[in-house]
Chain A
Amino acid sequence: MERNWMRALLPAIFLVAFATGCCRLPVYTPAFWNDGGTVQFNNNCYNYGNNKRTDTFAQPGEASGIILTQAQMQCNPVKNAAIADGLIPLPASGQCPKDSLGEECKVALVVDPGTDYHWYRRDQNGMWTHKPGGGRATNLDNSLNPISNPETANRCGGWLCYTDFCGYMCSCSSDVEGQGHEKIK
């Protein structure tokens, strides 16, 4: 009797396990990141872009042993480090991979050459949001305008200017905040 129950539940268990492991578009949920404490100060733009809380101020490539130097804060080195983490460059179709269960999240990389990098992510509503380092997650750019296009967003201020737009990539995110599936560290 007990075995029959187990057998009946198996497909459901597999389905739940499979569905929770697949890629979904994130929902803008700033309260998760903006706690004014551990989450906010230990998760940066790369954590937010990949929608993955690690509390380590994650760095592109670090999970694969790549350590970016300050001089490597340029488009290609940061992009390649992100590829090592599992992100993929946006296909020529302009669409991130999708299947019947969900799709990968579009993220955008910009750099202040030789100084720093920054990531944006595209949420379920089609708008872009970001988390500037240990600051708060926001849907506004440096001119306090909502971000419909990271290429034209104001990315300068406070002694930094992320002048170089490096392009788009795809990340296996989640609709549960902080639970993205890329291997970042």
Chain B
Amino acid sequence: MCISRKRLPWVLAFAVLITAALCPSYGTAQPEKEGLKVTVLLFSGRPDPVYRLAGSEMLDRVKRSLDAAKEQTSFDKPTVIPATLGYKGILVDNDAGLPGIPVRFAVYRGAIEVRGEKTKFLSDEGGTLESFLLNQAIAKGAIDEKMARRIKEGTYSK
């Protein structure tokens, strides 16, 4: 079979189109996800601050906090996330599938909600995990200076 020079570009273009159609990831290779995706549930309208928590030291700290947290069998709400305006806690997604860390958990005011086949509630003693994740959001610049100042000064905290 012989393809003339004139037709060659058309044949190549057709081959690329077919490849793109058959292979959804063609030309859009996603970089591998690193660490945890952390979302600070803060705003109502505009998108919430999001950052990635990576590095063995940081991830070990999260893992240690979760391992040390005691289960709260008497937690009487369906979720730790409140239905109020303003700060509503922190949502952590283990979208990279890191071992030893739940697929999704949320933390708010001393309580951790671990999502799985069966949701369970743990104690975040002294709000240690929540403070750590919130401080990381500020340190990484995910939370802007104005909001960081409000958090630091406790503005509208009630």
Give residues in A with beta carbon < 8 Å to B.
Answer: 34, 36, 41, 44-46, 57, 59-60, 68, 70, 73, 78, 114-119, 130-138, 140-142, 155-162
B66 in the interface (beta carbon within 8 A)? no
**What is the chain B residue whose CB lies nearest that of A41?**
B91
B contact residues around A155 at 8 Å (CB) = 85
B48 & A133 in contact (Cβ 8 Å cutoff): yes
Considering the chains assembled together, what is the distance between the CA atoms of A116 and B146 in angstroms?
A: 12
B91 & A158 in contact (Cβ 8 Å cutoff): no
A159-B150, A159-B155 known; A137-B83 Cβ under 8 A: yes
A133 & B88 in contact (Cβ 8 Å cutoff): yes
A133 & B41 in contact (Cβ 8 Å cutoff): yes
B42 & A160 in contact (Cβ 8 Å cutoff): yes
Q: Give min CB distance, A78 to chain B, whole Å.
A: 8
Give residues in B with beta carbon < 8 Å to A.
Answer: 39, 41-48, 78-79, 81-88, 91, 115, 144, 146-147, 150-151, 154-158
B46 & A158 in contact (Cβ 8 Å cutoff): no
**What is the chain A residue whose CB lies nearest that of B84?**
A142
B42 & A133 in contact (Cβ 8 Å cutoff): yes
Which of B46, B150, B151, B157 has the most A CB atoms < 10 Å from its CB?
A: B46
A118-B44, A157-B158, A158-B157 known; A132-B150 Cβ under 8 A: no
A160 & B79 in contact (Cβ 8 Å cutoff): no
Selected A-B contacts with CB under 8 Å, 29 pairs: A36-B115, A44-B45, A60-B45, A68-B46, A70-B144, A116-B45, A117-B44, A117-B45, A118-B45, A131-B44, A133-B42, A133-B48, A134-B88, A135-B44, A135-B83, A136-B79, A136-B82, A137-B83, A138-B84, A142-B84, A156-B85, A156-B86, A157-B157, A158-B86, A158-B87, A159-B150, A159-B151, A160-B42, A160-B44
